[in-house]
Amino acid sequence: MELSFTESAIREVARVSWELNRTVENIGARRLNTVIQRVMDEHSFTAADQPPGTRIEIDVDYVQQRVKPIVKNTDLKRFVL
């Protein structure tokens, strides 16, 4: 399986990681790892089942869709006492 990221997807992963570090707790590069894991979850488990030559491109919309739950939950944490 060939996996590629668009430039905008890479920037979005970095932006979300930075924003979560800024608003929740700054855990540095571990945050980046968490965001990438969230983006890659589905493909990590289905890659072996893909036919040879399968190409997948990760774009900004896909990144936003995959990280939406953690970003949304973070927004709510700001208002909980």
Helix (H, G, I), strand (E, B) or coil at 14: helix
Q: pLDDT, tens digit, for every residue of 47-62? A: 899 999 999 999 999 9
Where helices occur in 1-81 by DSSP H, the ranges are 7-23, 29-46, 60-77
* Cα within 13 Å of Cα(8), Cβ side: 7
Q: pLDDT, tens digit, for every residue of 23-34? A: 888 999 999 999
**What pTM value is reported for the model?**
0.82
Domains, the chain, in order of start with CATH, read 2-77 (1.10.8.60)
